[in-house]
Amino acid sequence: MADNKRKRGKADRARVSASEGYEVAYYARKHGITPAAVRKLIKRVGNSRKKLDAALKRHAKADRARVSANQPHEVAYFARKHRMTAAAVRKLIKRVGNSRKKLEAAAKRMKKKRKKRKKR
C-alpha cells in the first residue's frame, strides 16, 4: 500500500498489503479464511489481488475433491447423500482415502452389495 493514504489509485486497489491489518482482515473476511492464512498466501504468491484470487480458487477446487474425516459437516453431508452413518463414512475414508471420487465409487459398490443381500 502507498505510504500516503490520500493517494488511492488503481495500483493500490490491485494489491493487498500484508503489513496493513485492515486490508488483511477485509480480504480474510471476504474469502472466509483466517488473517494468518492471508499473510501466508501473500508471502507465497505475492500481494497482487489477481494472483491471490487465483490461488484461492485453485485451493477451493482441490478442497472440494476431498472429504475430510475431521470435518463433521462434510462427513454428515456425504453420509446423508449415500444413506450411510457418519461412522461408516469415517471407516470408508480410512479404507479408501479421502478422495471424493474413490469414496463415491466405494459407496456405490457398498450399495450394490446391500441390494444383493436384500434379494436373498
- Tens-place pLDDT, residues 42-82: 999 999 999 999 998 887 776 778 888 888 888 999 999 99
Q: How far apart are CA 115 and CA 120, in angstroms?
A: 9
The predicted model scores a pTM of 0.52
Q: Where are the domains positioned within the chain?
A: 10-64, 72-119
Strand partners, 66: 99
> Across residues 83-98, what is the average pLDDT?
93
> Across residues 76-90, what is the average pLDDT?
93
Give residue 19's Cα distance to chain centre. Answer: 25
SS3 label, residue 48:
strand
Burial 17-37 (b: 16+ CB within 10 A, else e): ebeeeebbeebbeebeeebeb
Q: How far apart are CA 84 and CA 90, in angstroms?
A: 10
pLDDT category of residue 1 using cuts at 50, 70 and 90: very low
